[in-house]
Amino acid sequence: MKCALALLFAAVVFSGCAHKKKHSKLIPPPAAPMRSVQPGYQETGRASWYGHPYHGRQAADGEIYDMETMVAAHRTLPFNTWVRVYDLDNNKTVEVRIIDRGPFVDGRIIDLSHAAAQAIDMVGPGTANVRMEVIAVPAGVGPAIYVVQVGAFQDRAIAERVQAQLAGHYGQTRVMQRRENPGVWRVLVGNEPSLDAANALRERIELETGEKKAFAVRLDAQ
């Protein structure tokens, strides 16, 4: 199993959410337990920003992404959650609304719009060390489903080969093309009721296959 999957993952021609530029690594930060999001919930890590070619496209929540508004992408927070982002290097802050999914690269915890990045002088450097704090949550958020993304591929055939290999060992799997990032086929494993459960599945996949690039993500209605 481990060797077979290693060969499949070695054939990857593209990994991750292609925000802004191509990256060689897909290493998520450690995920904090999050059974229900409440104001005060915090994460610390790296922030990045994204603009073109995503400007004018549909975001993951269905609205049109405008990079000059105060919005952002996060892997698991409910849409319309408001967060305050503190730049730990220059002490500047910005408040943004979550409308999109990502970032999926290099241990980053939030992807800011161009306008939000400008507000904390992050456009030039491209990334910053930040603390992110939830300040408001939307009302009436229903139960979420969490999955583990094990790869993202430009070649659908490769994605389906990985899916078939994983299905026999981990149950429900799917190949999904997100509307906000067409042309990228994501291999998703599991159907978990909580982020904790999805992270437990991610750890199992890492232990049994050696695949260290998987991460948990909230599965939103498409």
Q: Identity (one letter) of the amino acid at 106?
A: D
Whether 13 is covered by a domain: the verdict is yes
State the Cα torsion 198-203-208-214 to the nearest 10°.
70
Q: Do both 127 and 187 map to the same domain?
A: no
Q: Identity (one letter) of the amino acid at 26?
A: L
Q: Do both 148 and 126 map to the same domain?
A: no
Instruction: Give the residue with greater pLDDT, 19 vs 86.
Output: 86
Q: Do both 110 and 128 map to the same domain?
A: yes
Q: Do both 210 and 180 map to the same domain?
A: yes
What pLDDT, on a 0 to 100 scale, did the predictor assign at position 23? Answer: 34
The rounded mean pLDDT for the chain is: 84
* Full residue range of the structural domain in which residue 110 is found: 42-136
What pLDDT, on a 0 to 100 scale, did the predictor assign at position 80? Answer: 96
Q: Which of 121, 136, 151 is the last residue of a domain?
A: 136
Non-local (6+) Cβ contacts of 216 within 8 A are 28, 31, 75, 76, 146, 147, 148, 149, 192, 195, 198, 199, 201, 202
Which structure tokens are listed for 63?
A: 């609205």
What pLDDT, on a 0 to 100 scale, did the predictor assign at position 141? Answer: 80
In contact, 192 and 144? CB cutoff 8 Å: no
What is the C-alpha separation between 134 and 164, in angstroms, rounded? 38
Q: Do both 147 and 213 map to the same domain?
A: yes
Which structure tokens are listed for 3?
A: 């060797």
Q: Do both 132 and 146 map to the same domain?
A: no
User: What is the total count of domains within the chain?
Assistant: 2
Whether 24 is covered by a domain: the verdict is no
Q: Which of 112, 136, 160 is the last residue of a domain?
A: 136
Residue 120's pLDDT band, with cuts at 50, 70 and 90, is: very high
Q: Which of 136, 168, 190 is the last residue of a domain?
A: 136
Q: Do both 50 and 132 map to the same domain?
A: yes
Q: Do both 100 and 162 map to the same domain?
A: no
Instruction: Give the residue with greater pLDDT, 68 vs 103.
Output: 68
Q: Do both 75 and 104 map to the same domain?
A: yes
Tell me: the pLDDT tens digits for 163-214?
999 998 898 999 998 776 778 899 999 999 998 999 999 999 999 988 888 8
Q: Do both 129 and 179 map to the same domain?
A: no
Q: Do both 50 and 124 map to the same domain?
A: yes
